[in-house]
Structure 1
Amino acid sequence: MDVLIHLFVGLHIIGIASLLGGFLTQMKAMGEGTARFSPAMLHGALTMLITGVALVGLNQADDNTVNNVKIGIKLAVLIVILGLVYVKRDEEKVDKTIFATVGALTVANIFIAVLWT
């Protein structure tokens, strides 16, 4: 079971890298007001959702403790990110504040995962 959990953790990290990497590559464009959500950002957020749910299930099945409050907050933040990216995915330009909000929420989600023990 540990190998499977580690596999999903790796996939979860790939998802966050895709979401955050898409944001970071658009920083200059955000400053110019021409940033847009790339498909990699949407796919990264969806990967995070799917692997995160799988990780909770796998950890509970393996009788590991799961902090449901932490997971609930991370899920809520991710749903906001997913909603913003999904709704604005086809727009040629995304408003700076919306784009920056997605980046800030992504970083917040990372820090919640790492610092909340």
Structure 2
Amino acid sequence: MELLRHILLILHFIGLASLLGGFLVQTKAIAAGKGTIVTSMFHGALTQLVTGIALVGVIQMAALGDIDNTKIGVKLLVLIVITALVIYFRKKTSVPSWALWSIGALTVANIVIAVLWR
């Protein structure tokens, strides 16, 4: 189970990199008013969602550590908002800058929650 947890954690980080990297690639286009949701943002958000839920399940099932359910609930809520924004705007040719900046800010907020919330 420990190996499965490590694999899921690596995939979770890959999803984070894809989501945040996709946003960062769009920052120049956002400034020009032509930002879009790139495919990597969509796949990153879904990867984060699936692997995050799987990580919590594996850790609780195998008793690999203690889970702060409040922290996980907050992170899940933030990720659901990110995913909803990505899915809603992914087929649009031009995305409002507030939506893209919200996706980027919420992604960074989730990182901060993961690292600093003890």
Coarse TM-score class (shorter-chain normalised): over 0.9
Where does structure 2 lack aligned partners over 5 or more consecutive residues?
Answer: none
Identity %: 52
Structure-2 residue corresponding to 1:30: 30
Say whether residues 1:10 and 2:10 are aligned partners: yes
Say whether residues 1:55 and 2:55 are aligned partners: yes
TM-score, length basis structure 1: 0.98
- Alignment partners' CA distance in 2, 1:53 and 1:17: 18
Where does structure 1 lack aligned partners over 5 or more consecutive residues?
Answer: none
Structure-2 residue corresponding to 1:71: 72
User: 14-23 vs 58-67, which deviates more?
Assistant: 58-67
Structure-2 residue corresponding to 1:92: 93
Letter in 2 for 1:91: K
- Alignment partners' CA distance in 1, 2:116 and 2:7: 21
- Alignment partners' CA distance in 1, 2:33 and 2:110: 25
SS state of the match for residue 22, structure 1?
helix
| Deviation at residue 2 of structure 1 after TM alignment | 1.1
| Deviation at residue 39 of structure 1 after TM alignment | 1.2
SS state of the match for residue 65, structure 1?
coil
Runs of 4 or more, structure 1, over 2 Å off, are none
TM-score, length basis structure 2: 0.97
**1:10-66 CA distance string (max 9 Å, x none):** 000000000000000010001111000011101100000000000000000121211
SS state of the match for residue 92, structure 2?
coil
- Alignment partners' CA distance in 2, 1:44 and 1:107: 14
Structure-2 residue corresponding to 1:19: 19
Structure-2 residue corresponding to 1:107: 108
